Amino acid sequence: MLPSENSSPRKTFKKLRNSFHLIKSQVGFHHCKWFFLIILIQVTFILFLAGTSPPAIPLRHQHHHFHTSKPQKQSIHQQKQSNDQVRISKSQKQSKDQLQILQDSKPKNKHQKQSNKDQQTVKLVQDECESGRVYVYDLPTKFNKDLLNNCHDLDPWSSRCNAVSNGGLGPKATGLDSIVPENLRSAWYWTDMYSAEVIYHERILNYKCRTLNPQNATAFYIPFYAGLAIGKILWFTTAKERDRPSELMLEWVKDQPYWNQNQGSDHFLMLGRLTWAFRRKTDDDSDWGTSFLRMPLMKNVLRLSVEKNPWDDLEVSVPYPTAFHPEFEAEIKQWQDLVRSRNRSSHFCFVGAVRKKIKNDFREVLMNYCKNETGSCKIVDCSVAHCYDGAPAILEAFLDSDFCLQPKGDGFTRRSMFDCMMAGSIPVYFWEGSFKTQYEWHLPSPSEDYSVYMDHTQVRNDTNIIRKVLDKFTKDDVRKMREILIDAMPNYLYARSNQGLGSSNDAFDIAMDEVLKRFKQQKL
C-alpha cells in the first residue's frame, strides 16, 4: 500500500526508532540485532516507495491536463479518417511537412541506409528538397511493367529485352579490356539510346525527394513508357491503333483528383524517343508516329525528351543515355583523369553509316571526305563495323580524336554527341538545331566554348572547309575546350546509384531539380 499524501517518511522512521528502544530495554542484544535488521529493511522499502510515488497534481493543473487531452484524442480519431493530419502527444508539435520529410527520408529498399542522426534528417532533407517533392502515380501495369515483361514484342524485327534490362542500363559491357581500366569496367553497360523512360522511372521510385503523400507534392510524375508502347506499332498499323495506348493512359490520368486541381499543369512524363514520334498532324494512316503530344489532355503537361521541339515551351531535352554509369564519384574522377591524359592520334573522326535511301545523304558527304583525309580523320563505318550502343570501336575512335563530326541523327540530335563528349572529343555540328535550345539544363553556355559549328550547306559546297576551320584551333584552344567538357561530364551521365554521386549531380538529379523548381515557381 502506497503512503498517503499526509504521511511522512521521517515521522514513520521516528516511531520505529522509539519502538526499537522500547524493545531493546526488554530484549537482549543478540535478539535485538535481528529486530534491528528486519526494521531497517522495512524502512528502506518504505523510503523507496515514498520516493517513486507520483506527485500530487494541483487542482488547477489537473483541469488543464484534462482539457488538452481532448484534442489529442480527437486528432487520433481524425487521423484514422485522413492521412493528412498528424499530432504528436506530450506537447511536441511538429508540422505535417516535417513528418512527411521524415517519412520520405526512410530507405525505399534494402540497399539504402537511414541516418542514425534523426535530429539532422529533417534539416538535411529540407535542404535537399528545397524546391519540393514528386509524387509517382501508380499507373496500371499495362502502361509500364507489362511492356517490360513482354519485351520480346516491343519491336517488330528483334527482341528489346537486352535494351530494357538492368533498369534500362542494358547488359554489362564486354570487350573493353584494352580501353577501360579494370576497376572501371563494372560501370560500363551496352545502354540503348531509347531506354531513358525506364531509367527515369527506376530512379524516381528511389528518389530522395519522392513523397508518398500527394498532398505534399510539387510535381506529379506519370510513369508511362510512351516510346516503348509505340515501338512495335509505328509500322504496319493504322493511325488509330498507334494512338490507342496514349488515349487509354490519359483516360486513366484525367480521373485522378490531383490532375483536376490544375488540369495537369503540375504533371510531367519522360519520352524515351524523339519528340517527333509523338506529333503526328493528321489522321492519315500514312502519316508518321502518334498524335500523343497533340491530344487536348496533354496541352499543359511538361515532358522530358531526348530531343525537344524548339518551339514548344512545355518540352525540355535531357541527355541520351550513354554507356558509362558510375556508381561513385571516384569513378567519374578516375575516368575524367583518363580522358584528360589520353594521347590522341587523330585530328578528327567520323562514326556512322551512309543512309542510301536518303537522297543527298549528308553522312555520305562526311564519309567520302574522311576517306580522303586518312592522315587526319579516323573512320568507323557502321555499315561494316558493329556499332551497337557504346561499342568498343566507337569509344576508341572518340578517345583517339580531338574533334568528332556530328551530323543529324533521326532528328537534329543523336546519341553519338554524348558518346563523343564523354570521351573528351569536341563535337562538330552542322545544324543549329543540334545544339541550340537543346540540353540547356545540362550543358554549359555558350556552346561555342566547347563545340564547333559549320553550316551544312557550306560543307556540301566545299568539304575542305572542315579541315580549314579545325586547323585554326591551337593545342591550347583544344585543351581548354576539352576541359570544359570534362568538368561538365557528371551533368550528362546517368549514374547507376540511387543515392547519387556525392557532391556531383548526374543528368537525372539535374532534370528532377529543374522540374521541381519550375513547378514551384509557377505556383507562386
CA neighbor of 89 nearest in space, from 68, 67, 103, 118: 68
Asked whether the whole model's pTM tops 0.85, one would answer: no
Tell me whether residue 520 is exposed, middle or buried, using C-beta atoms within 10 angstroms of its C-beta: 0 to 12, 13 to 18, 19 or more: middle
- Walk me through the domains of the chain, giving residue ranges and CATH numbers: 134-321+508-523 (no CATH), 342-492 (3.40.50.2000)
Q: Are 492 and 421 in contact (CB under 8 A)?
A: yes
Mean pLDDT per block of 10 residues along the chain (524 residues) reads 45 51 48 58 59 41 36 38 38 40 45 47 66 97 97 91 95 94 96 96 96 97 97 91 97 96 96 95 94 97 96 97 95 97 97 87 95 93 77 94 95 95 98 96 97 97 96 98 98 87 90 97 87
Q: Are 134 and 258 in contact (CB under 8 A)?
A: no
Give the type of residue at 68: T
Extract long-range pairs of 51-56: CB within 8 Å, 24+ residues apart.
Answer: 53/2, 53/3, 56/5
Give the type of residue at 408: K
What's the pLDDT at 306?
A: 97
As a whole number of angstroms, the distance between CA 233 and CA 242 comes to 6
Distance of CA 364 to the CA centre of its chain: 39
What's the pLDDT at 383?
A: 84
Query: Which residues are CB-contacts of 234 (< 8 A; sequence separation ≥ 6)?
Result: 242, 277, 288, 289
Query: Which residues are CB-contacts of 82 (< 8 A; sequence separation ≥ 6)?
Result: none
Give the type of residue at 263: Q
Give the type of residue at 286: S
Sign of the four-CA dihedral 357, 358, 360, 364 = negative
What's the pLDDT at 108?
A: 45
* Length of the chain counted residue by residue: 524
DSSP annotation string for 299-352: TT-EEEESS--TT-TTEEE-PPP-SB--SSHHHHHHHHHHHHH----EEEEEEE
As a whole number of angstroms, the distance between CA 75 and CA 72 comes to 5
What's the pLDDT at 34?
A: 52
Distances (CA, A) of 496 to 74, 473, 500: 46, 36, 8
Tell me whether residue 29 is exposed, middle or buried, using C-beta atoms within 10 angstroms of its C-beta: 0 to 12, 13 to 18, 19 or more: exposed
